[in-house]
A and B are shown apart, each in its own frame.
Chain A
């Protein structure tokens, strides 16, 4: 029998299935490490239930959380305008096949489109590069964590300390609402709109990926220690596991500005990436491509 090559649409359906049903390995490891140092019994029971659920979801091929979110797509490499239609059809199919929960509504009438597309969705960021592949990253973003997003246009004089205070307040004021232990995405710099994008893009970077930039590493490690010492704990019920990691992404900004944005990922910070080649099968990963 002749095996027809998978279409981009088929591949994106697979990508959505992978992201929704399998927890990225780095997050699984971070949860296991947290369970090892957690001494609070309620906190420990929450972590145990989370890990147990992740295993069941993967085994049964079901979404690990009923809030399958709004999938945010990042398209890079070589592509043409047909990629938008491919992704849109894939979202519609994935919603029916996996299934995903239809989450997309008109913001004013609250009417649901029924298939997670329409009214501008799916939301896709495009970044063409000269690579010989098409890369698609997806980040299904649930509302519990997304609703905690914050942007501040700080003064340059507020400095690193101002950034740390703003991020810590955003996480601690959110309490149990974004399903801690969370992954904290921090965007620094850019313009106001770009800064919010950076915070979300930061969530795409695996927890075991060490930044080469010392100022980023110091900020990430400092906030990690501070937030886990806060006592907020899993689900806001107390304990020493409030965050699984802090991911910072920065870009240049105006000399008179210091934009900072926080975009929180729940413990189920779901992500998956694929590279589609012209002459060989696609490569999937939930970490970095080797």
Chain B
């Protein structure tokens, strides 16, 4: 049953052009230059320093590195980060 379920979702995305972040509950990350990162659909903050931001997602973590980080806004499942971004990394569970 679970296998079936997992197969249906990619099929839906492919054939009905549904947005993948909604259907698969994946984070959507919007990066504006090196200045802003806007992450939606995350599952919580794990680490925040002025050089690193680590967020939990459904399948692992997202790590963003850079310098002089400020969280401009924080809402449930949404975060807007400002600073000088150097890299974004996905860390699987």
Partners in one complex: no
